[in-house]
């Protein structure tokens, strides 16, 4: 089954509420309602029907867009209610026919993208003063329950039939791959034995038992449903406080110009360029630093809106990363570069940080967005080398890109100035999935060095950068081209499976969190399970779902 699964057409991640097929976003003052009413025939590609509010990548792209617009276009919102527009059905989870007909890499990237959007719910709750309520007004299974789990509170209708369930293990031979296992025990603190019962009971639990096990917070009969949900919203609003007077910033489309000649593909944005060499299986991703001066006030930043470099450049970087994930799966190595003025980058970092410290919501959301894009970079199942050359601007937020890389090479050439520079943002603004900064992770074994660097604000040249541990290697101008070429050729010759396993482990050093378990552990196991015959073989559970024949398992435990 895995070998014959169809490949997908190129995916476009740009959308707008006017073009949504599956979600309705309604904003009423400080309350937003996201209603899921999936178009049965509106799948991203033909071959399956999206029954029972089941979803595919197209549904998730709309949800991710809606969440992003809530943050920037509707800063007045303090409570978001997620519910269903279909009678007696909340969400049946990921569409099984879509999964069964998808290539392996698409399935894994689909789960990862979905998880990143779920994490954005939680980021909004933690950092943007927005409370999420899942109003589960019907049957809720698999990814539908995982959608609810990403919210702060879950309320289930008590109608004698509606349940919550995670049926992936008993029905499909796979895992609740968008964070279900982790959020049940780590976030909702469900007892391990209860979680074991729940995750192997395909039909799930109705309100009484679900509430007892902490799978939901409460529930109400259908006759009192609307009034009780409104009361919960009012309580959340009172606890969160208001945000009157804020006016949002409109997000404009992010669409690259794409040219292709043979196996070379070029994607060009305003501040980002992506060059993909299919023959060499190498992608070059370049972020251009700011050409305009940093804003002097929150008013000036707001007037720049979506065009502000710090926001626009990272929205483009985000799109480029998703293009690589879904539309260019064989490029095994990303070469990360920057161009521009380091001082200009540092000035933007200072301006945003000062405005954020003064309580400006827009500056806060821009930095939070940068942090999320950098975490998307951490999650790339590709090798990443940062190339720091004369004319680079690896400083402040742009230096985070180099720290996200698996290795960084910095040219040491006395005839060409080449430096990196640190900023306060490198020590606090951009935490990874484990809640620590990349700088703290880099110096896990040397806290004294970390403290010394925190006071280091001078430009750092190549040899000193290597001595301080800020870069991996600093070849001189005589060895640069050959050494970098050899390292690139060696990297792309290695097993992609071995590299993915290695990189996912090394990138999440330090303390475990719910997020690191999702991306470093759960996603890795799902990656493996999605290739096993017990799930995706011709007689596997995923392939035979909905057919009268039972799956045929290889009973050996590994």
The values of phi and psi at residue 396, to 5°, are: 55, -125
Res 4: pLDDT: 41
Domain covering 17-240 assigned CATH 3.90.226.10 in the classification: yes
**CATH 3.90.226.10-classified regions of the chain:** 17-240, 271-500
Which residues does the chain have with pLDDT short of 50? 1-4
The neighbouring-strand residues paired with 336 are 285, 386
Which residues form the catalytic set? 146, 168
3-state secondary structure of 233: helix
DSSP assignments along 174-223, one per residue: S--TTTHHHIIIIIS---HHHHHHHHT-TT-B-HHHHHHTTSSSEEEEGG
Task: Quote the tokens at residue 102.
Answer: 């998808």
Q: Give pLDDT, residue 8.
A: 66
CA end-to-end span of the chain, whole Å? Answer: 21
Non-local (6+) Cβ contacts of 158 within 8 A are 206, 207, 219, 220, 221, 222
Helical H runs in 214-341? 225-240, 298-304, 309-327
d(CA 423, CA 437): 13
What is the DSSP annotation of 62-96? HHHHHHHHHHHH-TT--EEEEEESBTEEEE-EE-H
Q: Tell me, what's the pLDDT at 458?
A: 82
* Cα 207 from chain centroid (whole Å): 31
Rounded-to-integer distance, Cα 81 and Cα 34, Å: 6
Yes or no: say if 130 and 149 are a contact pair by the CB < 8 Å rule.
Answer: no
DSSP code for 298: H
Query: CB atoms < 10 A from the CB of 549, how many?
Result: 8
- Contact between 399 and 460 under an 8 Å Cβ cutoff? The reply is no
Cβ(73)–Cβ(65) under 8 Å? no
Q: What is the pTM of this model?
A: 0.95
On whether the CB atoms of residues 505 and 520 are closer than 8 A, the answer is yes
Residues 73-111 as b/e (b if ≥16 CB within 10 A, e otherwise) read: bbbbbbbbbbbbebeebbbbbbbbbbbbbbbbbbbbbbb
CA gap 358, 360 in Å, rounded: 6
CATH for the 271-500 domain, from 3.90.226.10, 3.30.1600.10, 3.40.50.1580, 3.40.50.2300: 3.90.226.10
Query: For 326-348, how does the pLDDT look when each residue is reduced to its tens digit (9 = 90+)?
Result: 999 999 999 999 999 999 999 99
Residue 132 · residue 80 · CB < 8 Å: yes
What Å distances lie between residue 235 and 226, 241, 242, 289, CA to CA?
Answer: 14, 10, 12, 44
Query: What is the Cα–Cα distance from 10 to 6, expressed in whole angstroms?
Result: 13
User: Rounded to whole angstroms, how far apart are CA atoms 176 and 94?
Assistant: 10
- Taking residue 205's Cβ as centre, other Cβ atoms within 10 Å add up to 20
Task: Pick the closest to residue 341 from 286, 290, 398 (CA basis).
Answer: 290
The closest alpha carbon to 74, from 241, 248, 244, 305, belongs to: 248
Show Cβ contacts of residue 318 under 8 Å, excluding neighbours closer than 6 positions.
Answer: 254, 372, 373, 376
């Amino acid at each position: 089954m895995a070998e014959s699964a169809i490949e997908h057409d190129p995916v476009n991640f740009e959308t707008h509420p006017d073009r949504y097929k599956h979600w309705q976003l309604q904003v009423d003052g400080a309350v937003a309602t996201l209603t899921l009413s999936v178009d049965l025939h509106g799948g991203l590609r033909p071959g399956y029907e999206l029954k029972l509010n089941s979803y595919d990548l197209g549904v998730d792209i709309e949800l991710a867009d809606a969440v992003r617009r809530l943050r920037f276009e509707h800063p007045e919102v303090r409570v978001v209610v997620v519910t269903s527009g279909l009678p007696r059905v909340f969400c049946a989870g990921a569409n099984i026919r879509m999964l069964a007909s998808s290539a392996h890499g698409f399935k894994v990237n689909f789960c990862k993208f979905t998880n990143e959007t779920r994490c954005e719910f939680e980021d909004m709750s933690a950092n943007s003063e927005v409370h999420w309520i899942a109003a589960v007004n019907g049957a809720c299974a698999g990814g539908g329950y995982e959608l609810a789990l990403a919210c702060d509170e879950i309320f289930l209708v008590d109608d004698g039939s509606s349940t919550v369930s995670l049926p992936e293990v008993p029905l499909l031979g796979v895992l609740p791959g968008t964070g279900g296992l982790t959020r049940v025990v780590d976030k909702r603190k469900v007892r391990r034995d209860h979680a074991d019962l729940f995750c192997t009971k395909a039909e799930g639990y109705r309100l009484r038992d679900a509430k007892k096990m902490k799978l939901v917070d409460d529930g109400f009969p259908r006759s009192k449903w609307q009034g009780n949900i409104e009361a919960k919203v009012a309580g959340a609003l009172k606890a969160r406080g208001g945000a009157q007077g804020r006016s949002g910033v409109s997000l404009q489309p992010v669409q690259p110009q794409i040219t292709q000649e043979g196996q070379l593909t070029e994607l060009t944005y305003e501040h980002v360029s992506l060059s993909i060499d299919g023959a060499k299986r190498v992608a070059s991703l370049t972020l251009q630093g700011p050409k305009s001066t940093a804003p002097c006030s929150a008013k000036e930043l707001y007037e720049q809106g979506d065009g502000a470099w710090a926001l626009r450049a990272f929205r483009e970087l985000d799109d480029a990363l998703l293009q690589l994930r879904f539309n260019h799966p064989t490029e095994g190595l990303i070469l990360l570069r920057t161009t521009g003025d380091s001082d200009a980058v540092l000035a933007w970092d200072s301006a945003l940080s000062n405005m954020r410290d003064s309580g400006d919501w827009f500056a806060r959301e821009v930095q939070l967005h940068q942090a999320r894009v950098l975490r998307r970079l951490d999650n790339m199942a590709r090798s990443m080398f940062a190339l720091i050359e004369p004319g680079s601007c690896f400083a402040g937020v742009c230096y985070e890109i180099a720290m996200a890389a698996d290795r960084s090479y910095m040219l040491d050439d006395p005839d060409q100035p080449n430096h990196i520079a640190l900023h306060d943002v490198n020590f606090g603004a951009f935490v990874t999935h484990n809640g620590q900064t990349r700088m703290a992770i880099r110096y896990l074994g040397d806290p004294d060095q970390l403290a010394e660097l925190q006071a280091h604000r001078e430009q750092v040249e190549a040899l000193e950068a290597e001595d301080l541990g800020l870069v991996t290697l600093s070849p001189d101008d005589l060895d640069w081209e050959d050494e970098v070429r050899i390292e690139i050729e060696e990297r792309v010759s290695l097993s992609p499976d071995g590299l993915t396993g290695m990189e996912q482990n090394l990138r999440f050093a330090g303390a475990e969190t719910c997020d690191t378990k999702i991306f470093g552990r759960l996603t890795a196991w799902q990656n493996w399970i999605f290739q096993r015959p017990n799930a995706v073989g011709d007689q596997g559970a995923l392939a035979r779902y909905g057919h009268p024949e039972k799956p045929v398992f290889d009973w050996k435990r590994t």
